[in-house]
């Protein structure tokens, strides 16, 4: 039996793969977001199980929250503001697509919120855009709650 966070991450990755976005992306479910720079010539979207929490609601019921990270990465040319802006638009587009999503897992998983990841302010990791990496990296954490 899979852990629910794995089931949710797999379902989200498959859901994203079935979508069309404003630019081509490669979606994969991963445990770690780590690439060789040569592998980031195309836009990579990684779906990563991040964490979970449990809250007691009643004597017999809990609220289970599962956090899934969605990372967008691509290597850019030095100072390519237009490409970086387009990737910020893609991050927004993916986030808006996931909002209020109810995944067809058993039991169903309902999206409840999205959060910034420390180090990815203002929506991306500025240090990754420097001369050493020249890579756009954005990670957003989405929370899903099991229903039923």
We report the CATH number of the domain holding residue 69 as: 3.30.2000.30
**DSSP-assigned beta bridge partners for residue 130:** none
pLDDT at site 148: 64
Q: Which domain holds residue 106?
A: 4-146
* Cβ within 8 Å of residue 141, ≥6 positions away: 50, 67, 68, 69, 70, 114, 115, 116, 117
Residue 93 neighbours by CB distance under 10 Å? 16
Phi-psi region at 40: left, alpha or beta (left = phi > 0; alpha = psi -120 to 50):
alpha
pLDDT at site 8: 97
Q: To 10 degrees, what angle do helices 4-17 and 81-98 make?
A: 120
Give dist(CA 52, CA 5) in Å, integer.
Answer: 7
pLDDT at site 133: 84
Domains in the chain, number: 1
Mean pLDDT by groups of 10 residues along the chain of 148 residues: 92 97 97 90 97 84 90 91 94 96 93 89 82 89 89
pLDDT at site 79: 79
């Amino acid at each position: 039996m899979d852990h629910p966070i794995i089931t949710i991450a797999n379902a989200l990755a498959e859901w994203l793969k079935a979508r069309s976005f404003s630019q081509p992306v490669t979606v994969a479910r991963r445990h770690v977001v780590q690439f060789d720079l040569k592998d980031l010539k195309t836009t990579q979207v990684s779906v990563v199980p991040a964490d979970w929490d449990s809250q007691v609601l009643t004597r017999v019921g809990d609220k289970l929250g599962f956090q899934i990270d969605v990372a967008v990465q691509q290597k850019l040319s030095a100072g390519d503001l237009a490409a970086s802006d387009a990737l910020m638009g893609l991050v927004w587009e993916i986030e808006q697509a996931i909002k209020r999503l109810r995944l067809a897992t058993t039991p169903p998983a309902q999206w409840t919120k999205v959060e910034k990841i420390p180090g990815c302010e203002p929506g991306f990791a500025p240090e990754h855009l420097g001369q050493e990496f020249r890579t756009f990296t954005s990670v957003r954490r989405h929370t899903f709650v099991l229903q039923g």
